[in-house]
């Protein structure tokens, strides 16, 4: 059901992050195959190591397009669901595992992650695999199983640096289960082995990775500056909207375990606390970006408790359980409610960004193989959609404007953009006034003043913020005689 719902109901063109990561991966793979080195230093600012997921996604995109890359994410999320079942079954029993995996698989954020070709699905799978390895090592007599925990955690961190948030929870699960099932001395041995494997893996990673990634680790994760801050009550309300049912049921499971299963009290507390780590971090930082994806991370730790609570509601965990098993309908009803909400929420999340198929068509009518320079406000998706007819060097954006004028002067920022316009450096310009509205308004004003560009098309779009247009401009045949002469020519009702 998880796979079917994801593939059939969630359809859209590439998301901004998908376009960026897959394009980067294609450039890296192309370089490995003997092509030119990427012009962009991705390790300097990506939120995950560019030689892990982007390479996988870029390779899959090269051979099968966006859908194949998204299928890899779906495979990872199916693996997470399987690990939910495995972890819950090892600690509790089969009914709790069935309810936990069913509830998790049909949650909106989980279905969404299964159709998003970004770092997250792979990272979450590796976090889940690390947690599953910890649970296995804590419940088996084979102490050497704990050695698998460290390398998997390091791979998860390389996939996306935010995975570092879950290192302590994984070790906590290993320690408390080892104590509960095996005793203090075996627990100490397993934690020591896992810690040693983690230290060795981190050492190897430090020697191998590009050290520019440490700048990205600070800039994108540990020291990230929040530019678009949201009110904390609104973020908390959104978290409850997207995952509140499972968090609530998990709280019930926590209370039941605290009362009935003394040996698993600490395990239950660690699970519930871990499930709130990422959401609470977003609330503290007032950071709305990626919140929906990170709710899916937290729900992985919450659903084993929720599965136990649903099994208890269905009578399976009660000493007086009736042999007719009529109570199971209660748990099924809750899962059906989660499924109904999940279907609607996943479709809403997948429709948040604008469909760029018409923009892609317009670009393909104008661009020719490897000729002309393009300034694009929506560079991630525009460049990704036109990857078959353009090269990396042709693309410029508002992120880090840079231009060397004919006299050899190196210019930055608006000065670089303004001079490039006067010199007719850009053959095409794409604006949406969406991601960089201030820069886009200023740039459009400069184009109108210079009259060096023709407005050749406007393409309507709809996203989560409302309606807008993609505007495509082309360098005029005669300098100073372009048809774009003022902002009123654009279909906008509000002016800065």
* pLDDT tens digit sequence for 87-100: 999 999 899 999 99
Predicted confidence (pLDDT) at residue 366 exceeds the cutoff of 50: yes
Residue whose structure tokens are 């899916």: 296
* 27 CB-near residues (< 8 Å, 6+ apart): 38, 40, 58, 392
* φ, ψ dihedrals at 49, nearest 5°: -70, 125
* 133 CB-near residues (< 8 Å, 6+ apart): 145, 146, 148, 149, 152
CA distance 120 to 160: 7
Region 192-203: what's the mean pLDDT?
Answer: 96
- As separate numbers, helices (DSSP H) first and strands (DSSP E) second, the chain gives 19, 7
User: What is the distance, to the nearest Å, from the Cα of residue 263 to the centroid of all Cα atoms in its chain?
Assistant: 36
Region 332-350: what's the mean pLDDT?
Answer: 92
Contact between 195 and 170 under an 8 Å Cβ cutoff? The reply is no
Which DSSP state fits 452?
-
Contact between 196 and 150 under an 8 Å Cβ cutoff? The reply is yes
453 sits in which H/E element? strand 453-463
Of 46-55, 100-109, 317-326, minimum mean pLDDT range: 317-326
Using one digit for the tens of pLDDT, what is the confidence trace for 150-178? 999 999 999 999 999 999 999 999 999 99
* 123 CB-near residues (< 8 Å, 6+ apart): 48, 53, 156, 159, 160, 162, 163
- Share the mean pLDDT of the chain: 91
**Residue 11, SS3 per DSSP:** coil
**Residue 81, SS3 per DSSP:** helix
Select from 165, 173, 207 the least CA-distant residue to 191. Answer: 173
* 115 CB-near residues (< 8 Å, 6+ apart): 6, 7, 10, 70, 73, 74, 346, 350
CA distance 362 to 455: 12
Predicted confidence (pLDDT) at residue 103 exceeds the cutoff of 60: yes
* φ, ψ dihedrals at 288, nearest 5°: -85, -20
- CA dist 271 → 42, 84, 264, 267, 268 (Å): 34, 12, 11, 6, 5
CA distance 114 to 9: 12
Predicted confidence (pLDDT) at residue 326 exceeds the cutoff of 70: no
Predicted confidence (pLDDT) at residue 495 exceeds the cutoff of 50: no
pTM of the shown model: 0.93
What pLDDT shows up at residue 329?
77
Structure tokens at 318: 């009660």
Contact between 372 and 396 under an 8 Å Cβ cutoff? The reply is no
CA distance 311 to 386: 51
| Residue 492's pLDDT band (cuts 50, 70, 90) | low
CA distance 267 to 14: 40
Region 294-310: what's the mean pLDDT?
Answer: 96
Neighbours of 369 (CB within 10 A): 8
**Residue 375, SS3 per DSSP:** strand
Dihedral over alpha carbons 217, 222, 227, 233 (to 10 degrees): 140
Overall residue count recorded for the chain in this entry: 496
| Residue 331's pLDDT band (cuts 50, 70, 90) | confident
Assign 3-state DSSP to the chain and report helix, strand, coil percentages, each to 5.
65, 10, 25
From edge to edge, which strands make up the β-sheet containing 466-475? Answer: 395-396, 374-376, 428-431, 466-475, 453-463
Structure tokens at 124: 């979450």
* φ, ψ dihedrals at 4, nearest 5°: -65, -45
**Residue 97, SS3 per DSSP:** helix
Structure tokens at 258: 């605290």
């Amino acid at each position: 059901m998880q796979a079917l719902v994801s593939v059939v109901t969630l359809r859209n063109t590439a998301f901004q992050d998908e376009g960026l990561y897959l394009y980067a991966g294609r450039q890296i793979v192309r370089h490995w195959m003997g092509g030119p080195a990427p012009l962009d230093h991705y390790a300097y600012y990506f939120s995950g190591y560019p030689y892990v997921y982007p390479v996988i996604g870029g390779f899959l995109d090269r051979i099968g397009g966006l859908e194949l890359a998204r299928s890899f994410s779906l495979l990872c999320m199916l693996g997470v669901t399987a690990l939910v079942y495995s972890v819950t079954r090892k600690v509790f029993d089969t009914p709790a595992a069935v309810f936990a995996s069913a509830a998790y698989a049909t949650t909106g954020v989980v279905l969404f992650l299964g159709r998003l070709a970004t770092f997250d699905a792979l990272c979450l799978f590796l976090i889940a695999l690390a947690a599953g390895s910890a649970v296995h090592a804590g419940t088996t007599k084979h102490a050497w199983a704990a050695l698998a925990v460290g390398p998997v955690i390091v791979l998860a961190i390389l996939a996306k640096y935010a995975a570092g948030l879950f290192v302590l929870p994984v070790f906590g699960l290993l320690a408390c289960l080892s104590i509960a099932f095996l005793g203090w001395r075996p627990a100490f041995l397993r934690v020591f082995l896992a810690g040693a494997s983690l230290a060795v893996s981190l050492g190897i990673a430090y020697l191998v990775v590009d050290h520019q990634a440490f700048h990205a680790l600070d800039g994108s994760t540990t020291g990230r500056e929040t530019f678009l801050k949201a009110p904390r009550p609104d973020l908390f309300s959104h978290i409850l909207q997207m995952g509140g049912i499972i968090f609530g049921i998990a709280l019930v499971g926590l209370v039941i375990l605290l009362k009935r299963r003394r040996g698993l009290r600490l395990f239950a507390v660690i699970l519930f606390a871990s499930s709130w780590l990422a959401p609470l971090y977003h609330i503290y930082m007032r950071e709305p970006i990626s919140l929906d994806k990170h709710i899916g991370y937290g729900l992985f730790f919450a659903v084993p408790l929720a599965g136990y609570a649903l099994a208890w509601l269905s009578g399976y965990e009660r000493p007086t359980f009736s042999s007719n098993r009529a109570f199971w309908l209660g748990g099924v009803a809750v899962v059906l409610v989660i499924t109904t909400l999940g279907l609607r929420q996943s479709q809403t999340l997948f429709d948040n960004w604008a469909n760029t198929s018409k923009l892609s068509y317009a670009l393909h009518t104008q661009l020719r193989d490897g000729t002309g320079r393009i300034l694009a406000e929506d560079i991630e998706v525009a460049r990704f959609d036109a990857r078959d007819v353009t090269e990396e060097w042709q693309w410029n954006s508002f992120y880090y404007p840079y231009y060397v004028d004919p006299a050899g002067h190196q210019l930055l920022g608006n000065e670089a953009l303004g001079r490039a316009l006067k010199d007719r450096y850009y053959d095409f310009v794409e604006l949406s006034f969406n991601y960089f509205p201030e820069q886009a308004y200023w740039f459009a004003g400069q184009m109108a003043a210079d009259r060096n560009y023709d407005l050749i098309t406007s393409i309507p779009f709809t996203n989560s913020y409302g309606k807008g247009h993609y505007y495509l401009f082309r360098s005029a045949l005669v300098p100073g005689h372009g048809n774009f002469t003022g902002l009123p020519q654009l279909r906008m009702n509000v002016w800065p």
